[in-house]
């Protein structure tokens, strides 16, 4: 099918099968690879009714292109997305909003940090990442398949709904901002992080409750990469939420 994508490498293939957010049509494996990961993928695929075909390493390489494959790849359909209201209605939601990030590797790294830090969902603007799906899934270590994701046309409307039901919207920006570590991130929350070049749109800023910045240890005038900023902010939210859950101040 024209919309099919190739996902390469054990981590990507496992995540796609486990998450179930796209149809995995077939798994292609090098029969010489008899690792624990490969055996697990074969069992997992069989449990989901997905066929596994033994093919040569040359065929897998031709399917994977420039993406490292480790002897396995999968033919899959496009990713399915959540209704944004489903994400907003989660218990004590912790949602990352990523906007204006053009590089698929950087985008995947942002998702990886957000998911590892306990984000309950991800909001991204409508665009097609399918032509770079293999890179996004691999750079996110499979997190892009696992994190509930809403892909939206009208970010302004979604943020307005979020604020209406009491979700705080925090944007990463230095203008008129407070230090990250002084902001309460343990409440129902959306953290918005923009791309290094484009930043966040006026639609996001129009519905931002607070702008926060990451204090530096040196007199450095340049911004962090999106993936670094995302990691710092997401794990500060993770730290505060863990402290709040344990009753620590």
Environment class of residue 77 by beta-carbon count within 10 Å: exposed (0-12), middle (13-18) or buried (19+)? middle
Query: Which of these CATH numbers, 3.20.20.330, 3.90.1720.10, 3.40.50.300, 3.30.1330.30, describes 5-76?
Result: 3.30.1330.30
Structure tokens at 8: 């390469």
Tokens 């639609």 sit on residue: 203
pLDDT at 128 over 70: no
pLDDT at 241: 96
Q: What is the pLDDT of residues 69-102, one digit of tens each?
A: 889 999 999 999 999 999 999 999 999 999 999 8
pLDDT at 41: 95
Beta strands in the chain (DSSP E): 5-8, 24-29, 51-54, 72-76, 94-99, 121-125, 149-152, 168-172, 178-179, 189-194, 210-213
- The answer to whether 121 and 150 have CB atoms below 8 angstroms apart is yes
Q: Provide the Cα torsion 41, 44, 50, 56; round to 10°.
A: 10
Rounded distance between C-alpha atoms, residue 190 and residue 97, angstroms: 7
- In this structure, the number of other CB atoms found within 10 A of the CB of residue 222 comes to 7
pLDDT at 189 over 70: yes
Rounded distance between C-alpha atoms, residue 132 and residue 184, angstroms: 35
Identify the CATH number of the domain defined by range 84-246: 3.40.1280.10
CATH 3.30.1330.30 residue spans of the chain: 5-76
- The answer to whether 8 and 139 have CB atoms below 8 angstroms apart is no
Residue in 147, 207, 123 with CA at minimum distance from that of residue 18 = 147
Structure tokens at 249: 């101040």
- The answer to whether 215 and 181 have CB atoms below 8 angstroms apart is yes
Residue in 204, 212, 228 with CA at minimum distance from that of residue 175 = 212
pLDDT at 34: 87
Q: What is the pLDDT of residues 137-153, one digit of tens each?
A: 999 999 999 999 999 99
CATH 3.40.1280.10 residue spans of the chain: 84-246
Q: What is the pLDDT of residues 26-64, one digit of tens each?
A: 999 999 988 999 999 999 999 999 999 999 999 999 998
């Amino acid at each position: 099918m024209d919309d099919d994508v190739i996902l390469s490498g054990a981590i990507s293939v496992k995540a796609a099968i486990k998450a179930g957010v796209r149809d995995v049509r077939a798994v292609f494996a090098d029969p010489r690879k008899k690792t624990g990961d490969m055996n697990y993928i074969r069992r997992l695929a069989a449990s989901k009714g997905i066929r596994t075909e033994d093919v040569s390493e040359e065929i897998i390489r031709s399917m994977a292109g420039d993406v490292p494959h480790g002897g396995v790849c999968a033919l899959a359909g496009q990713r399915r997305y959540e209704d944004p209201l489903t994400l907003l209605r989660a218990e004590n939601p912790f949602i990352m909003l990523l906007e204006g990030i053009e590089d698929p590797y950087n985008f995947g790294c942002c998702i990886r940090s957000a998911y590892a830090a306990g984000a309950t969902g991800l909001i991204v603007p409508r665009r097609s990442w399918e032509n770079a799906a293999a890179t996004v899934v691999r750079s996110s270590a499979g997190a892009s398949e696992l994190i509930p994701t809403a892909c939206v046309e009208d970010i302004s409307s979604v943020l307005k709904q979020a604020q209406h039901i009491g979700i705080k919207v925090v944007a990463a920006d230095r203008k008129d901002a407070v230090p990250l570590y002084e902001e309460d991130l343990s409440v129902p929350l959306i953290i918005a992080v923009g791309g290094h070049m484009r930043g966040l749109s006026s639609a996001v800023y129009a519905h931002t409750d607070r702008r926060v910045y990451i204090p530096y240890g040196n007199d450095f005038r340049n911004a962090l990469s999106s993936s670094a900023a995302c990691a710092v902010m997401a794990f500060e939210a993770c730290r505060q939420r863990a402290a709040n859950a344990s009753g620590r101040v």
